[in-house]
């Protein structure tokens, strides 16, 4: 697990699993954890790591309902988990799906956990909308397309934009079950002005990006979606994202469009 400060009020915690990012934000004496690392040892260490840096979460939020973003409750079982309205609706349509997928991946990776994932108390958040953190406000913006749900979270006071599973330098656009090409395009269009206004853009997977780099990734992702819409079987993938696994993601994307 790697911990990097991107602002005096923002820490990025990166898991060894899929470079999954969690972001701790603070304002006005309160703190919030967005998303989560993956491995049990990382989750065990997380409270002490955050407390040592002056970030003791009062609340948890997940950008979307994929299982690898929902594990904050394991590290902080006494806190409520904030989910956007589309994610709550997704869970009503797909009861237990996140827990089943976590068990499947754990079995594949020989990961043992002390118990099953329990979401516990859930707070439904308006998307689009906002939520208070101390004396500041977090903006919540719709971000579907990768999945049927999702939200981007903008801490405008510190210039940090958390985009969930978008704008990654290690992963091409991935249209999962329930996602769509059209919604993915719409999300990129909504993100563009937010990225321009941000100083640091934190994706769900991979290193944080300064605004200029994130805008380049956004343009590359639009070009990829164009190739996907044309049905190209061997499109030119962006630099740094042309690997066998990303080619597999592309083959999966072709089945969704």
- Please report the pLDDT score of residue 121 as a whole number: 87
pLDDT at 5: 97
Q: Tens-digit pLDDT profile for the chain (257 aa)?
A: 999 999 999 999 999 999 999 999 999 999 999 999 999 999 999 999 999 999 999 999 999 999 999 999 999 999 999 999 999 999 999 999 999 999 999 999 999 999 899 988 899 999 999 999 999 999 999 999 999 999 999 999 999 999 999 999 999 999 998 999 999 999 999 999 999 999 999 999 999 999 999 999 999 999 999 999 999 999 999 999 999 999 999 999 999 88
CA separation for the pair 83, 65 (Å, rounded)? 8
Chain centroid to CA 69: how far? Answer: 6
CATH number of 2-254: 3.60.15.10
Query: pLDDT value at position 120?
Result: 86
- pLDDT value, residue 257: 84
Mapped onto helix, strand or coil, the DSSP state of residue 154 is strand
Q: Residue 19 CA to chain centroid, in angstroms? A: 11
* pLDDT computed for residue 177 by the predictor: 87
The CA distance from 248 to 228, in Å, is 13
CA-nearest of 76, 246, 83 to 174 is: 246
- How many CB atoms neighbour CB 27 within 10 A? 19
Residue 1's contacts (CB-CB under 8 Å, 6 or more residues apart) are 13, 14, 15, 16, 37, 39, 42, 45, 46, 49
């Amino acid at each position: 697990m790697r911990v990097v400060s991107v602002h005096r009020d923002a820490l990025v915690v990166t898991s060894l699993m899929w470079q999954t990012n969690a972001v701790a934000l603070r304002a006005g004496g309160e703190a919030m954890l967005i998303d989560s690392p993956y491995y049990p040892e990382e989750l065990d260490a997380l409270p002490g790591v955050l407390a040592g840096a002056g970030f003791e979460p009062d609340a948890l939020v997940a950008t979307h309902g994929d299982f690898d973003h929902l594990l904050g409750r394991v590290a902080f079982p006494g806190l409520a988990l904030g989910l956007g309205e589309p994610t709550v609706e997704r869970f009503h349509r797909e009861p237990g799906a996140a827990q089943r997928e976590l068990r499947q991946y754990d079995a594949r990776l020989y990961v043992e956990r002390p118990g099953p994932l329990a979401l516990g108390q859930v707070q439904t958040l308006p998307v689009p909308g906002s939520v208070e953190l101390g004396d500041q406000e977090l903006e919540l913006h719709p971000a579907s397309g990768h999945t049927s749900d999702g939200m981007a979270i903008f801490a405008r006071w510190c210039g940090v934009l958390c985009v969930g599973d978008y704008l990654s330098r290690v992963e091409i656009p991935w249209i999962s079950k329930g996602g769509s090409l059209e919604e993915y395009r719409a999300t990129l269009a909504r993100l563009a002005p937010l990225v321009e206004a941000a100083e640091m853009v934190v994706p769900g997977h991979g290193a944080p990006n300064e605004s200029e780099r994130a805008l380049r990734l956004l343009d590359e992702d639009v070009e990829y979606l164009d190739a996907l819409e044309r049905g190209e079987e061997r499109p030119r993938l962006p630099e740094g994202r042309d690997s066998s696994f990303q080619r597999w993601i592309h083959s999966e994307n072709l089945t969704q469009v």
